[in-house]
Amino acid sequence: MIIVSGFLKVDPDQRTSYLEGCRHVVRAARATKGCVDFHISADLIEADRINIFEQWESTEAVETFRGSGPTDDQQTAIIDAKVLQHKIAGSISLT
């Protein structure tokens, strides 16, 4: 299991349009073989922060989807970012 998690920072005035531009990315990811879950969402506290969470069955699945990464327009809008990929050995249900 692979988890990708972290955040992006964008101009608060551009956050809504940035997220709208990500709708197709979320749809494509969720339709990709090996994607368990995929979220890109506005942070409830910080106006310039976008939270990232992805869950994949394998490294190969996430690398196949990721390709070249954000579009040029998306990359230009990102002021700062911290996104990490984690390899998970196991999980337990909390529900």
Residue 92 lies in a domain: no
Pairing mode, strands 78-87 and 35-42: unpaired
Query: Strands, DSSP E only, in 26-93?
Result: 35-42, 49-56, 78-87
Instruction: Kindly state whether residue 93 falls inside one of the protein's structural domains.
Output: no
Q: Angle 69-30-76 (CA atoms, 0-180°, nearest 5)?
A: 25
> pLDDT tens digits for 13-70?
999 999 999 999 999 999 999 999 999 999 999 999 999 999 999 999 999 998 756 6
Q: Give the range among 7-16, 47-56, 66-75, 81-90 with minimum mean pLDDT.
A: 66-75
Residue 45, domain member (yes or no): yes
Beta carbons within 8 Å of 44's beta carbon, 6+ residues apart: none
Q: Quote the domain boundaries for residue 66.
A: 2-87
> Does residue 66 sit within a domain?
yes
- Per-residue pLDDT, 66: 86
- When divided into structural domains, the chain yields a total of 1
For residue 6, give the CATH number of its domain.
3.30.70.100
pTM: 0.89
Domain annotation covers residue 63: yes
